[in-house]
Amino acid sequence: MLPKRTQVAIIGAGPSGLLLGQLLHNAGIDNVIVERRSGDYVLSRIRAGVLEQTTADLLDEAGVGTRMRREGLLHDGIELAFGGARHRIDLCGLTGKHVVIYGQTEVTHDLMDARRAFGGITAYEAADVQPHGFDTATPSITWRQEGHTRTLACEFIAGCDGYHGVSRASIPASSITSYEREYPFGWLGILADTPPVSHELIYSNHERGFALCSMRSPTRTRYYVQCSLEDRVEQWSDEAFWDELRRRLDPEAAESIVIGPSIEKSIAPLRSFVGEPMRFGRLLLAGDAAHIVPPTGAKGLNLAASDVRFLARALIEHFMDRSDAGIDGYSDTCLRRVWKAERFSWWFTSLTHRFPDTGAIGRKLQRAELDYLVGSKAASTAMAENYVGLPFEDTTYNSPFA
């Protein structure tokens, strides 16, 4: 039964909304999630695959990490391919940290199971969701479901409804500043039940464009090639995809890659976006609702988790300690970390993709930077620190200038 009021109304049942709901529930704070799509649809979206150590720790803290710890793959390094050879970045040797390979679909699955187990309410297939009165002390949300209009009064609204959601769109344009770059290409990705070509991820910079070899498990692979924004998925047969991928890898990987039928194929545009601030009275944005990164650094899901970590703590402080310090500082705290991930994702995208407008000099400069990156411990360490995820207390990390 849908209650008439709750403490926190959460819009969106992606990883941000579900994780927030779980952390709040664990702290004894009521919440209801309202989601536009069906649960099956949410689970059918194939997206991220790399969890930073801090994201994995947060899933443990939320009590949903058991399967991730059992089935997730620990990766200690990544490989950069260019000039016909592969060069390893020793993430663990350089930072003492690793990443966990565990798909967003599985994270979402685990969060949905946990929510079901505690009897948490999620209203799926909610049409025309609208936040109201978030600049007052009595906010609410409304939506349509099964021919009825539903109203839910709340104390806070968490906008976890992604880039195209209603939360950010409800804020008057004069109150939000947007920073945006669209990249002149997309990623064509496929999922296949084949063993990975290498036991670590390969990011490849090639004349023909970027390619990425990733995985979901020892028997399931996720591969991407940079494509034109005009390309349509239907134009890409599996055979054409595998041929193109092989051309963009080093000879050893191209030779040994195992191919098979795709079980999913999609094209995603690449974008950098930040909307500032992330709080508007009693409406707080988290995850893709507030910012987007191009996927090259695998930061999207991890940034969503870090927003949720700050937001859950701020709301717990409000309800339990009667302090609004966390709510007041929420936007600035998140944005400091968000901009660092935006910078890294933009940099890694710029280094590895073929840009239509930078010409021969652009390619020479990329090659020089890649050579420097793999040849310099300082440069490799900077890359590794960002890839595994910057520490949360990021103003104090062993800076020689501190």
User: Least separation, in Å, of the C-beta of 47 and ligand PHB?
Assistant: 7
User: Which partner, ligand PHB, ligand RFL, none, binds residue 296 by CB below 5 to 8 Å per kind?
Assistant: ligand PHB
Q: Is 36 in the site for ligand RFL (CB under 6 A)?
A: yes
Q: Is 179 considered catalytic here?
A: no
Distance CA 137, CA 172 (A): 18
Q: Which of 32, 190, 259, 298 binds ligand PHB (CB under 6 A)?
A: 298
User: Which partner, ligand RFL, ligand PHB, none, binds residue 304 by CB below 5 to 8 Å per kind?
Assistant: ligand RFL
Question: Which member of 299, 318, 330, 353 is catalytic?
Answer: 299
Written as six digits, the tokens of 391 are 């520490």
Question: Which member of 75, 291, 318, 353 is catalytic?
Answer: 75
The amino acid present at 45, given as its one-letter code, is R
* Sign of CA pseudo-dihedral 380, 386, 389, 393: positive
Site map for ligand PHB, 17-56, x if CB under 6 A? -------------------------------xxx------
Is the distance from CB of 196 to CB of 313 less than 8 angstroms? no
Query: Which of these ranges, 27-35, 86-94, 132-140, 291-299, lies near ligand PHB under the rule CB under 6 A?
Result: 291-299
Q: Site residues for ligand RFL, window 146-165 (CB under 6 A)?
A: 160-162, 164-165
Written as six digits, the tokens of 112 are 């949905």
Q: Is 387 considered catalytic here?
A: yes
Residue 266's CB is within 10 A of a number of other CB atoms, namely 15
Q: Is 295 in the site for ligand PHB (CB under 6 A)?
A: yes
User: Least separation, in Å, of the C-beta of 34 and ligand RFL?
Assistant: 6
Written as six digits, the tokens of 111 are 């969060």
Residue 290's CB is within 10 A of a number of other CB atoms, namely 30
Map tokens 């058991």 to a residue: 66
- Considering the complex, state which of residue 142 and residue 358 has its C-beta at the smaller distance from ligand RFL: 142
User: Least separation, in Å, of the C-beta of 40 and ligand RFL?
Assistant: 12
Q: How would DSSP label each residue in 29-55? A: --EEEE-SS-HHHHHH-----EEEHHH
Q: Which of 205, 214, 226, 352 binds ligand PHB (CB under 6 A)?
A: 214
Give, to the nearest 10 degrees, the angle between helix 377-388 and helix 359-375.
90
Q: Is 75 considered catalytic here?
A: yes
Angle (CA) 341-72-223 rounded to 5° is 65
Give catalytic residues, as residue numbers.
75, 203, 295, 299, 387
